[in-house]
A and B are shown apart, each in its own frame.
Chain A
Amino acid sequence: MNDKEQNISTGAYIGIWAALIVLTGITVWVAGLHLGNLSTITALAIATVKTTLVLLFFMHLRYEKPLFIIMLFAPIVTLATIIGLTFVDVWFR
């Protein structure tokens, strides 16, 4: 029951969607540039920007209590830690 949430107009939603489509186009375009190692990083960075847009607007995180965003860090930090620690093995084996 959040009144702020109701203020997102259809136009704003369509704007976010357009941004997501454009970003998809950019990902495909960047991949064609053959940037080597950098291309993985840009691809993941763009994906993360897209995800943030979806989270904040489509999933209304921007309008929820701060608790939701704080909680969201739990799985992200956990996953990052798990991957990081596993790679201490993978890189140095």
Chain B
Amino acid sequence: METNFYTYSGKHRGILAWILSTDHKRIGLLYLSSMFTFFLAGATLGILMRLELIAPGPTIMTAQTYNAVFTLHGVIMIFLFIIPGIPAALGNFMLPLQIGARDVAFPRLNLLSWWFFITGGLIALTSLFTGGGPPDTGWTFYVPYSIRTGTNVSLALFGVFLLGLSSTLTGLNFVTTIHRMRAPGMTWFRLPLFQWSLYATGWVQLLATPILGITLLLVIIERFFGVGFFDPAKGGDPLLFEHLFWIYSHPAVYIMILPAMGAVSEIIPAFARRTIFGYKAIAYSSLAIALVGYLVWGHHMFTSGMSDASRVVFSLLTFLVAIPSGVKVFNWVASLYRGSIQTDAPMLFTLGFIFLFSIGGLTGLINGALSVNIHIHGTHFIVAHFHYTMFGGTAFAFFAALHYWFPKMFGRMYREGLARVAWFIIFIGFNTLYFPMFVLGWQGMPRRYYDYLPQFQTGNIISTIGSWILVSGLLLMLFNLVRSISKGEKVGDNPWGATTLEWKTSSPPPHNNFAEIPTVTTGPYVFK
């Protein structure tokens, strides 16, 4: 029997064969498993928040606990789940396979990135139980509160700094790999679209994350030495922190969403059984999103006291980003036209993605309009908006990609019926949970409070019930996937009949990915 990368015996044994492996496939799975662990922790915190909000007044926790819980929910979900999500886990696994390479350009650096990731994650979690108690600043760490609070902010910041470093090094690795390691004949315009999105993401990781790094360092230095950069009493300007923070954190949402869009662009051709509509438009729009993503950070600061001129400029620029996003949505929909669509679980999640991301994107335009933003800033409308883009968008695409590449990674298939049921419950639960927040926000219910006025209770009850539905769907999906890793039905190398290179080798792939490096002669989505 041919050995695959699971049975391949390297230098180390047991657990060491995983945590010291430089094989991109093993590192991808390391990310996947550690990320899902963090995801479950983050989801638990989310459930607790929703439970607190089921009725006005203190329900299950104090205000201080609530502050800590929403801070950690944000930090975990953003830095430990969505940012590394698709690129570090699935990207690591698929990038060399899709371009016909044996590994990434710097395999040892790749392993180091995972170690930074896991160390950063553990340090961030340690900050919960040590020092002055869990951080309560919100995931944005706004000054001057974050330099004054007695909670354990410094340690959490250092953890996030390491996570940023990990993300940067992954981007560095991917960009170099795509430049140098493409198989013969794999020209830039024969790259699968997932690769284009990873390439664009890589550049954003490289050019935006260092700004986060220096910003976090400055806050740490501020807390220890009182330099005064962000302390108004010493002439510092808190708004400058917000600028620096969002200079990274807005591009970061494109780090989260771009690979999701790339994964969707893989799944649609495979399940519509026809080539993607407007390949180049999708490829270029990935780069355009990465580019324009740098110009819009100020829309997070419309009510912070920026100058009027910059508020108008940022509002205008924000609208630009809708164009390349719209280009993609139209291309996906056009690709479905006259295709022979199969509604397997990956496709259902993908269609869910398009629907929910469209809602998230269009409400983004509402937020981006300066005059409206003044009204809804800091309300639950914002919470609903970014959960529609980040959860409804990125996470749905991530689940879609996970189902799509599951037989590739494990050589076995999950139970299709169960997957569809899970999808349905997740979809219903998601909308029940987050849609009421649009209404509540529009009515004026602020975010980040553990309490609210009695008139908001109906919406909050619906939303909390939605959170239960959503979690049961998620658990069902995870159960199905985890169970199928060992018990799933064995399927062939290419159960979907997909055309990209990763399906040309066996499933699961051998240690070296390809017996012989393939030569590419056509574009990625040529169906007969």
Q: Do A and B touch (CB < 8 Å)?
A: yes
CA distance A81 to B247 in the complex (A): 11
Whether A29 sits at the interface, judged by CB under 8 Å, is no
Question: A78-B207, A82-B247 are known contacts. Are A89 and B307 too (CB-CB below 8 A)?
Answer: yes
**Shortest CB distance A67–B (Å):** 8
Question: Is B294 within 8 A of A92, CB to CB?
Answer: no
**Shortest CB distance A59–B (Å):** 18
Question: Is B307 within 8 A of A85, CB to CB?
Answer: no
Interface size on A, residues (CB 8 A): 14
Inter-chain contacts of A82 with B (CB < 8 A) = 211, 247, 294
Q: Residue of B at shortest CB range from A90?
A: B307
Whether B420 sits at the interface, judged by CB under 8 Å, is no
Whether B254 sits at the interface, judged by CB under 8 Å, is no
Q: Which of B165-189 contact A (CB under 8 A)?
A: 179
Question: Is B308 within 8 A of A81, CB to CB?
Answer: no
Question: Is A89 within 8 A of B295, CB to CB?
Answer: no
**Shortest CB distance A68–B (Å):** 11
CA distance A51 to B239 in the complex (A): 32
Inter-chain contacts of A34 with B (CB < 8 A) = none
Interface size on B, residues (CB 8 A): 20
Whether B313 sits at the interface, judged by CB under 8 Å, is yes
Question: Is B295 within 8 A of A81, CB to CB?
Answer: yes
Question: Is B298 within 8 A of A89, CB to CB?
Answer: yes
CA distance A89 to B309 in the complex (A): 7
Whether A10 sits at the interface, judged by CB under 8 Å, is no
Whether A88 sits at the interface, judged by CB under 8 Å, is yes
Q: Residue of A at shortest CB range from B237?
A: A90
Question: A85-B313, A86-B243, A88-B313 are known contacts. Are A78 and B294 too (CB-CB below 8 A)?
Answer: yes
Question: Is B294 within 8 A of A93, CB to CB?
Answer: no
Question: Is B307 within 8 A of A81, CB to CB?
Answer: no
Inter-chain contacts of A25 with B (CB < 8 A) = none
CA distance A89 to B244 in the complex (A): 13
**Shortest CB distance A40–B (Å):** 20
Question: Is A88 within 8 A of B207, CB to CB?
Answer: no
Question: Is B295 within 8 A of A93, CB to CB?
Answer: no
Question: Is B307 within 8 A of A91, CB to CB?
Answer: yes
Question: Is A92 within 8 A of B207, CB to CB?
Answer: no
Whether B203 sits at the interface, judged by CB under 8 Å, is yes
Q: Which of A41-93 contact B (CB under 8 A)?
A: 67, 74-75, 78, 81-82, 85-86, 88-93
- Given A86-B240, A88-B309, 4 other A-B residues pairs in contact with their CB atoms under 8 A: A78-B294, A82-B211, A89-B243, A92-B307
**What are the 3 closest A-B residue pairs judged by CB atoms, nearest first?**
A92-B307, A89-B310, A92-B309
Question: Could you list which residues of chain A lie within 8 angstroms of chain B, going by C-beta atoms?
Answer: 67, 74-75, 78, 81-82, 85-86, 88-93
